[in-house]
Structure 1
């Protein structure tokens, strides 16, 4: 009879981590990042707790990863530790072990509950080729529509999605000085099922107005967390409770 695997002790501490994907590292896929993070944990000698079973894995829970190619200042994960450690020590160790462009921004103790349950919406910037006045006309047409259906290729084939429904707010303005883009779109997008991405919203803007987004618009997630229904602002999940 096959020997039963050793049962691992549960974590004694859980830490939540906010990290960024910047520059060329925004093209890192979620799978590539998870491998890089596990290597960083090993190099930094973080005292990880492990799952039970025949193939134990470090207890790492990822939540709300941005699409490949998008920059982000608000990516989140949670780790379980086998001993209690100062979060500042883990922050410094991981920052040193990860490559530049995958940057640890904050490490805090978990407040309990599910981290994923706190990620209700995302705040995005989309830098596009069009000029601000053109972008503003496209945004007005988009927001005036009750439904904007776009197509996206998924693992299950071509799918039609209504990209208008989860848009909480969308504003056009000038791109930052020195940027190659003409306009910046400020977008708050509610997390929904099926998931609507910022590039879906760009496709919707093109559909309603033929907006010139350019060959490679830069998408940057600047916040992710609980959505305030009154203000439409995206909060901080590291200091909220599920």
Structure 2
């Protein structure tokens, strides 16, 4: 049995697809591409597919991960291209590696996010970020399966800054439904790095914390995109490539050991 890890995206309107929607789309793509899937044992066998840290519905992502177990050997890059062609635009498979190392989910220590705050003045956003980072703890609430839960949104935040702004962009840069936003307010772009914790601190929790500490109000919902997830470099605060150990292990193998041998 061969295992392959894939990195895929959720872009554009496809950010509104649920995790279950993507599962169904992937299973159809696997059938169309004649991928030799390995199946679980038992009364109701199903394809051996493992997902990791799915992005919340409504958020875009450049770094979602899934692992496939195959019953026959396939070239990872060829498999990536076949699945990418079979999936709708917006669900794009952009990277693939053969599994060489264990404990992949343990490597997903943190995520890097971009938050687009249309109608928010960049200077106002900077002041709110400074107020948030100055706190040792910022309690927020979120409705969960077991009811309303209160937790700290500050402790998991590694970095938060106003990375880019569009001063004076006004209503022309906003969706048609956002005509109530005053012209000249512009757009603030936040860059956020957050550790994966329990409970998971999501970008909307951080936005709730900005509202709690600095009364930052959003005229329209934020546009949220996950840029990366993987190991956290403590010194730089950067999120690094979780596929790097698999690539390194493959490069360390002798050529004859890396290639499949005839049976």
Q: How does the TM-score come out when normalised to structure 2?
A: 0.84
Deviations 1:128-159 (A, max 9, x none): 13111100000000000011111111111111
**2:133 — aligned with what?**
143
1:176 CA drift (Å): 5.9
1:214 CA drift (Å): 2.9
1:183 CA drift (Å): 0.3
**2:154 — aligned with what?**
164
**1:189 — aligned with what?**
194
Residues 101 and 245, structure 2, Cα contact 8 Å, conserved in 1: no
1:65 CA drift (Å): 0.7
The structure-2 alpha-carbon separation of the partners of 1:63 and 1:169, relative to structure 1 and needing over 3 Å to count, comes to: same
1:39 CA drift (Å): 1.2
**2:226 — aligned with what?**
221
- What residue ranges of structure 2 are gaps of 5+ in the alignment? 175-185, 250-263
**1:200 — aligned with what?**
205
- Supply the distance in 2 between the matched residues of 1:172 and 1:154 (Cα, whole angstroms): 29
> Which of 235, 239, 246 pairs up with 1:230?
235
SS at match of 2:243: helix
| Greater Rg by CA | 2
SS at match of 1:78: strand
**2:77 — aligned with what?**
88
SS at match of 1:220: strand
Q: How does the TM-score come out when normalised to structure 1?
A: 0.92
- Supply the distance in 1 between the matched residues of 2:35 and 2:166 (Cα, whole angstroms): 39
1:172 CA drift (Å): 1.0
CA RMSD of superposed structures (Å): 1.6
Q: What are the within-5 Å matches in structure 2 for residues 15-94 of structure 1?
A: 15-94=4-83
1:213 CA drift (Å): 2.5
- Supply the distance in 2 between the matched residues of 1:203 and 1:59 (Cα, whole angstroms): 38
Residues 120 and 188, structure 2, Cα contact 8 Å, conserved in 1: yes
- Supply the distance in 2 between the matched residues of 1:112 and 1:42 (Cα, whole angstroms): 27
- Supply the distance in 2 between the matched residues of 1:73 and 1:50 (Cα, whole angstroms): 28
Equivalent pairs counted in the alignment come to: 231
Residues 118 and 240, structure 1, Cα contact 8 Å, conserved in 2: no
Which region of structure 1 is more displaced relative to structure 2, 179-188 or 139-148?
Answer: 179-188
Deviations 1:191-227 (A, max 9, x none): 0011110110001001111113232210000000000
SS at match of 1:205: helix
User: Higher helix share goes to which structure?
Assistant: 2
Which region of structure 1 is more displaced relative to structure 2, 194-203 or 213-222?
Answer: 213-222
- Supply the distance in 1 between the matched residues of 2:69 and 2:165 (Cα, whole angstroms): 41
SS at match of 2:50: strand
Deviations 1:140-192 (A, max 9, x none): 00000011111111111111121000000000133469753610010000000
The structure-2 alpha-carbon separation of the partners of 1:158 and 1:132, relative to structure 1 and needing over 3 Å to count, comes to: same
SS at match of 1:52: coil
